[in-house]
Amino acid sequence: MKVVITKKQYKEAAYKFLTTFLGELRYDENEYSTSVYGKNDSIDDNAPMTIWTGPQRGKGCKNDLTLYYDFSHRLDQFFPLTRKKIFSDVLVKYVYDKTGIKCDCVDYSYDFDLNGEKSQQYRYNVKKKKKIDDE
């Protein structure tokens, strides 16, 4: 049986998933970055997401939202990121709604193997609606 899901349905499902998975976001701003934590993350732990604003940000990005490997892997286990461009848009909207910080680029891992050891990296400029090439 083939199931067809529209963009609108995917966006709604992804947003609801992020709300359940992360809840209210907390953040800690530094000079060149902002660490973003979900409801169950401790500030003492590594943040699952960072918004880079300094020299570490991606080419052509002002606020580069990076999801760390472990966090991306946990997300992918529960909600496969098969529609990467749409998921990136939803993720940026979710972070903006919860923190007030508007990101224009997203960087995360996806397509994990069964052991979670191999993956591909996805870099996308949400504002320009195009993939960012590796340097």
Domain locations in the chain as residue ranges: 7-131
pLDDT digits (tens, 9 = 90+) for 4-19: 889 999 999 999 999 9
CA distance 32 to 48: 17
Contacts of 33 (CB under 8 A, 6+ apart): 50, 51, 52, 53, 54, 56
CA distance 14 to 88: 10
Task: Map residue 74 onto helix, strand or coil.
Answer: helix
If you average pLDDT over every residue of the chain, what do you get? 86
Of 64, 28, 31, 30, the closest CA to residue 44 belongs to: 28
Asked if residue 116 has pLDDT above 80, the reply is no
